[in-house]
Amino acid sequence: MANHEIHLELLLGKQVLDSTGKAVGRIEEVRGEKQGSEWVVQEYLIGYPAILERLSAWTIALGILHLFGAQKIHSGYSIPWDKLDLTDPEKPRLLCNLDDLKTISEQEKTAEQQR
């Protein structure tokens, strides 16, 4: 596969569509990893919790929401880099089912357990 460069700042806020064209959330955060002298995208985060993740306020905000009685909070999704079609960066599309994606809260629990 050829390397492609896309300006990440142009992806932020773009609506991600599933295979049927239904909107599943907006790209709010991108996680990458340094490989040699370059940064490589590992995953894209979509949904409202991804905004909190970008602001590094997920844990605090979740605690406050629970304090005020929120029972279930939409957790947003983590999309692996290879599960998002960016052929048209204006209209990113999932290459898998929404059910195949991890939620951000699942990912946070896994990260906490590994610490």
* Position 42 confidence tier, pLDDT thresholds 50, 70, 90: very high
The DSSP call for residue 83 is G
**Other CB atoms within 10 A of residue 15 CB:** 13
* Position 114 confidence tier, pLDDT thresholds 50, 70, 90: low
Average pLDDT value for the chain: 79
Q: The tokens 């998002």 sit on which residue?
A: 84
Please check the confidence at residue 74 and state whether its pLDDT lies above 90. no
How confident is the model at residue 109, as a pLDDT?
Answer: 47
Please check the confidence at residue 68 and state whether its pLDDT lies above 70. no
Burial of 52 (0-12, 13-18, 19+ CB in 10 A): buried
List beta partners, residue 29.
45
Query: Domains in the chain, ordered, with CATH?
Result: 10-114 (2.30.30.240)
For the residues 39-57, what does the mean pLDDT come to? Answer: 74
Ramachandran sector of residue 36 (left: φ over 0; alpha: ψ -120 to 50; beta: rest)? left
pTM of the predicted model as reported, rounded to 2 decimal places: 0.72
**Other CB atoms within 10 A of residue 76 CB:** 25
Bigger pLDDT: 2 or 23? 23
Please check the confidence at residue 38 and state whether its pLDDT lies above 60. yes
How confident is the model at residue 1, as a pLDDT?
Answer: 46
- Quote the distance between the C-alpha of residue 89 and its chain's center: 15
**For the sheet containing 102-103, what is the strand order?**
84-85, 93-94, 15-17, 23-35, 38-46, 77-80, 102-103
In the chain, the percentage of residues whose pLDDT exceeds 90 is: 37
How confident is the model at residue 50, as a pLDDT?
Answer: 65
